[in-house]
Structures are given as C-alpha cells and as structure tokens.
Structure 1
C-alpha cells in the first residue's frame, strides 16, 4: 500500500504528524507538498497532484490536509473517479471506506487534533470496501 499526502500551508504541521504516523505503521507514502507552513499556497494545486497520482494508480489512496478539509474535498471531487470525504471522527473514516470506497480523506488541521487525526487515518486505512449494495450506489453517483 502506498498513500499520497499533501497539504496547503494551513495543514502542513498536521501533514508532518501524519507522515510520521504512516512511517510508524510502515505505510509507504509520497509527499506532494507543500514543503513549509510559512508561505501561503493555493490548495487546488496540491489537491490535483494527489488526484492525478490516484488516477494514474501510482498510489492506493490519498490524504489531503488544510484548515478544514472542505476546500480540498470540493476540489478533489471535481475529478471523475475520485471519492473524497472530509472526516472528523473515527466512525466516519471507517464507514466512508466501507460504504463509499473513499479513495481520499480530507482532514482539517484547525478542526481536529493530532491524536484524533492519527486514529482517523488508522480507521480509514484498516477499513475495507464492503461491495454490494454499496457498489451499485457508487455507480449511480458516477453517472
């Protein structure tokens, strides 16, 4: 398994926490930026890098982090084949994979703390898509 991860300047610190956590879990990741919290950047550019990696199938999923996760999720969901969910609790992280087969989770650095973020990532990584009847619903969404 390999995960794409990116943030804007408002999510940089939490991104670094999540990267360390992925390393502890021995989950490979590719960091698509940003490289610092001090310079304001446009989150759609970083969102698109993760989306492209998923669509190329060079990674198995993505984690996007900004101040709320909302802007990045809206941006990611503009791309066909992407199912991005803003997640702020462990249950939603688990179910968004099991029912929606979400291939991106979006986190808000200003909304959740480091420990909760790590638990959310764990729940999403460990969950498995349950297939039907959910696959039929995903197909309906994609139409």
Structure 2
C-alpha cells in the first residue's frame, strides 16, 4: 500500500506522528506538505492528496488540518474521493468497512497524537466489507457521473 499525506500548518505536527506510524507499519507514503507552522491554505495540500488517490497514483490518502473539516471538504470535491473526517476509532473502522473511504481526515487541534495514531492504524489496516455496502458506494459513484 502507498499513501499520500498532507497537512496545513494546523496539522503539521500530527502529520509527523502519522508518518512515524506508517514507518513502523512499513507503509510507504508520499508527503505533499506542508512542513511549516506558518499559515498556509489547506486546499493547496488537500487537493493534491485527493488527486493522487483519484488518479490511482497511491492507494489511499490522509489529510490533516486544525479541525479536519476544511481538508475533508476540499478532498471530497475531487471526483472519486470518499473522505471521512474521523476523531474516534469506531468511526475509523466503520468508514473503511462500510464506506470504503479512500481518504482519512483528522484535526490536529481536536485529537492528540496517541489517539490519532490509533485511528490511522485502524483505518490503514481495515478492509472494505463489500456485499450490501458495495451497491451504496456504486450509487455514490453513479451520482458523481
């Protein structure tokens, strides 16, 4: 598996934690930025992550901003993206099993590094169940056109 990861200034520190986790899990990743604490615009990092997933350059994406909200909105503007804003482990598992989410959004000012690592680990290691959930994903794809 290969993951694209990006953040704005509000998520830069948490992004480093998640990169460390992916190193431990031996998951390859591409960091699209940002690498600073200076104010930047989240769409400049959310769009590239989502585009890499949509274009099959990577398998999944992770985006992080202060709340995760802006990044999730930006990522979900890209056709084919099912970005889930997650701040608990149950939702991380459910969104993979039921929604086949391909981008994970988290808020660096909402959750701490320990919980973020647990969420990311569950999200990265949980497979899509398919079955009755697949037709729902197909309906979303059909609506997108």
TM-score in terms of structure 1 length: 0.97
RMSD: 0.8
Matched, 1:48 2:26: no
Displacement of 1:135 after TM fit? 1.0
For residues 100-131 of structure 1, what are the alpha-carbon distances to aligned partners after superposition, in whole Å with 9 as ceiling and x for unaligned? 00000100011111000000011101110011
Cα distance in 2 between the residues matched to 1:43 and 1:89: 22
In the alignment, structure 1 segments of 5+ residues that lack a partner are: none
Cα distance in 2 between the residues matched to 1:141 and 1:42: 28
Cα distance in 2 between the residues matched to 1:55 and 1:137: 19
Which aligned segments of 4 or more residues in structure 1 are displaced greater than 3 angstroms?
Answer: none
Matched, 1:21 2:14: no
Cα distance in 2 between the residues matched to 1:48 and 1:75: 6
Tell me the matched-pair count.
142
For residues 19-49 of structure 1, what are the alpha-carbon distances to aligned partners after superposition, in whole Å with 9 as ceiling and x for unaligned? 1111011110000000111x21110010111
Task: Provide the secondary structure at the position in 1 that maps to 2:117.
Answer: helix
For residues 55-104 of structure 1, what are the alpha-carbon distances to aligned partners after superposition, in whole Å with 9 as ceiling and x for unaligned? 22111101100011011101111121000010000010011011000000
Cα distance in 1 between the residues matched to 2:24 and 2:68: 24
In the alignment, structure 2 segments of 5+ residues that lack a partner are: none
Cα distance in 2 between the residues matched to 1:62 and 1:14: 15
Displacement of 1:141 after TM fit? 2.0
Contact 2:83 2:103 in 1 (8 A): yes
Cα distance in 2 between the residues matched to 1:70 and 1:16: 19
1:10 paired residue number = 10
